[in-house]
């Protein structure tokens, strides 16, 4: 009997914590504050704010053509819109019409083109590219001119990844850089406030890119040597280790300095001439003949044994700008002409720094006239003939700047930059 009582006491002690827990469960549940119903702003949304301004009648027509009026007036959401006024729209329509709508045409003609001739898909693409799904006042945008500041637009690059979006690149003004920009276009008027966001006025339409850098460079008639050099540099490489694959990879930000055909021809002529001159004991006639033949071979010369794959790869890598913001050098800079500061001795790193981290990079020198870049030049560390003082060689001038692709921007230059 004592043994039974002992077991009952033991069981009672074991059940005590459980009883305490049950007792605690019978208390009143903790009361949480009710979730507040969001209070959305009232008033004129972005589209309505523009519609009320006669100077934005043409961009208002563009929004209507895109079918995005209600979207941009939705007060349950916030937006930043990079729009342009009627002056900027006239520049756009004149270009989009191939000159068929002259700049001095009546406003009704411009409005007619926007409302009836401009493809709806084009209008949708432009307005969505001009729209960021958050409110970003220019005072909150970074003022560091290099590199620029990406914001995701309403254009989704991958339907299975809705957060992977085509970026647009605003830069805020500062004492150093008094002008603010979106991509390479300056902001031309004070910020406008709407009930659901802000509107920035740009010089003209900030047009979305239409293709990757690979596709765009493939269509450039004076970059045949550059394409041949890329093919030679890619020999034996696979995947994104290939420059060609990298240029076709849509989800990245790159800047490429692409030497034109004449730049490569001059380099090839000089290389073969100096090599032949050394071998022939200074026979200029033979050297000139050999150099002329090398140039006559065209881009195919870059696939011969006269140059090695390593040499060509080093040269091409030196024409892809890079940064080490992630701890390793990557081609993750999209630099428009306006992003290069006028600071004397400004250098930018390249993919050569992936192998030689201490390489000084490329010297960049822009020339501004007001908000516009009138000249942009780059100088490589190497010289030709080799052995000269670093960065004393002929500077490469940009002959075609700010060519915008989905995955970056390229500038065509008139000299081949040498990394050593």
Residues in the chain: 420
CA distance 64 to 80: 17
Beta strands 197-202; 254-259: pairing state:
unpaired
DSSP-derived secondary structure for 349-416? -BGGGGT-TT---EEEEEEEETTEEEEEEEE-S--SSTTS-TT-SPPEEEEEEEEEETTEEEEEESS-
Min mean pLDDT across 16-30, 129-143, 208-222, 320-334 is at: 16-30
Given this model, what pLDDT does residue 2 score? 42
Residues 6+ apart with CB under 8 A from 365: 340, 342, 346, 376, 377, 378, 379, 395
pLDDT reading at 8 higher than 50: no
Given this model, what pLDDT does residue 258 score? 98
Q: What's the alpha-carbon Rg for the chain, to the nearest Å?
A: 30
pLDDT in tens, 160-207: 888 889 999 999 886 666 889 999 999 999 999 999 999 999 999 999
Angle at 91 between CA 88 and CA 97, to 5 degrees: 135
C-alpha 299: how far from its chain's center? 29
Domains 46-202 and 213-413 share a fold: yes
pLDDT reading at 7 higher than 60: no
> Average pLDDT in the 37-63 region?
94
The superfamily (CATH) of domain 46-202 is FAS1 domain (2.30.180.10)
Of 25, 69, 21, residue with least CA distance to 45? 69
Given this model, what pLDDT does residue 9 score? 42
Q: Which residue has the tokens 């001038």?
A: 397
pLDDT band at 147 (very low <50, low <70, confident <90, very high): confident
Helix axes 57-66, 86-96, angle to 10 degrees: 60
Given this model, what pLDDT does residue 41 score? 85
pLDDT in tens, 258-316: 999 999 999 999 999 999 999 999 999 999 999 999 999 999 999 998 899 999 999 99
Given this model, what pLDDT does residue 15 score? 38
> Average pLDDT in the 16-24 region?
42
Given this model, what pLDDT does residue 29 score? 62
pLDDT reading at 35 higher than 80: no
pLDDT in tens, 102-142: 999 999 999 999 999 999 999 999 999 999 999 999 888 87
Tell me yes or no: is domain 213-413 CATH 2.30.180.10: yes
**Domain boundaries, given as residue ranges, for the chain:** 46-202, 213-413
Beta strands 347-348; 362-369: pairing state:
antiparallel
pLDDT in tens, 395-408: 999 999 999 999 99
DSSP H or E run through 3 = helix 2-25
| Other C-beta atoms lying within 10 Å of the C-beta of residue 314 | 19
Of 97, 101, 103, residue with least CA distance to 118? 97
> Average pLDDT in the 218-246 region?
94
Does residue 396 contact residue 413 with C-beta atoms inside 8 Å? yes
Does residue 408 contact residue 246 with C-beta atoms inside 8 Å? no
Angle at 115 between CA 59 and CA 91, to 5 degrees: 50
Of 121, 135, 123, 42, residue with least CA distance to 81? 135
pLDDT band at 21 (very low <50, low <70, confident <90, very high): very low
pLDDT in tens, 70-100: 999 999 999 999 999 999 999 999 999 999 9
pLDDT in tens, 337-389: 999 999 899 999 999 999 999 999 999 999 999 999 999 999 999 988 787 89
Between 128 and 158, name the one with better pLDDT: 128
Given this model, what pLDDT does residue 176 score? 61
Given this model, what pLDDT does residue 106 score? 98
């Amino acid at each position: 009997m004592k043994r039974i009582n002992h077991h009952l006491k033991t069981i009672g002690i074991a059940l005590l914590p459980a009883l305490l827990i049950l007792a605690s469960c019978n208390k009143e549940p903790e009361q949480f504050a009710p979730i507040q119903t969001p209070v959305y702003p009232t008033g004129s949304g972005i589209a309505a704010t523009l519609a009320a301004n006669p100077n934005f009648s043409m961009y208002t027509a563009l929004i209507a053509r895109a079918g995005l009026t209600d979207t941009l007036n939705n007060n349950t959401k916030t937006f930043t819109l990079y729009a342009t006024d009627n002056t900027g729209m006239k520049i756009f329509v004149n270009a989009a019409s191939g000159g068929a709508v002259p700049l001095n045409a009546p406003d009704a003609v411009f409005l007619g083109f926007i409302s009836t001739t401009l493809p709806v898909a084009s209008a949708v693409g432009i307005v969505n590219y001009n729209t960021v799904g958050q409110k970003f006042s220019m005072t909150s945008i970074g003022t560091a001119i290099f590199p620029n500041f990406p914001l995701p637009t309403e254009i989704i690059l991958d339907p299975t990844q809705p957060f992977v979006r085509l970026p647009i690149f605003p830069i805020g003004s500062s004492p150093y850089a008094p002008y603010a920009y979106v991509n390479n276009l300056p902001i031309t008027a004070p910020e406008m406030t709407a009930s659901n966001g802000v509107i920035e006025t740009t010089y003209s339409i900030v047009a979305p890119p239409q293709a990757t850098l690979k596709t765009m460079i493939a269509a450039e008639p004076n970059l045949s040597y550059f394409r041949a050099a890329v093919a030679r540099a890619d020999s034996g490489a696979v995947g994104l280790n290939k420059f060609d694959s990298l240029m076709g990879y849509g989800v990245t930000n790159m800047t490429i300095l692409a030497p034109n055909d004449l730049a490569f021809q001059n380099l090839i002529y000089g290389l073969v001439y100096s090599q032949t001159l050394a071998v022939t004991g200074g026979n200029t006639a033979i050297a000139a003949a050999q150099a002329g033949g090398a140039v006559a071979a065209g881009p195919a010369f870059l696939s011969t044994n006269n140059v090695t794959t390593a040499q060509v790869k080093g040269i091409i890598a030196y024409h892809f700008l890079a940064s080490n913001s992630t701890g390793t050098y990557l081609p993750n800079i999209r630099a428009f002409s306006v992003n290069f500061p006028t600071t004397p001795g400004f250098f930018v790193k390249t993919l050569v720094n992936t192998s030689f981290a201490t390489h000084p990079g490329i010297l960049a020198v822009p020339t501004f006239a007001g908000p516009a870049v009138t000249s942009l030049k780059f100088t490589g560390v190497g010289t030709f003939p080799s052995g000269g003082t670093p960065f004393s060689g002929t500077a490469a001038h940009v002959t075609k700047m700010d060519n915008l692709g989905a995955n970056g921007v390229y500038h065509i230059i008139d000299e081949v930059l040498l990394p050593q």
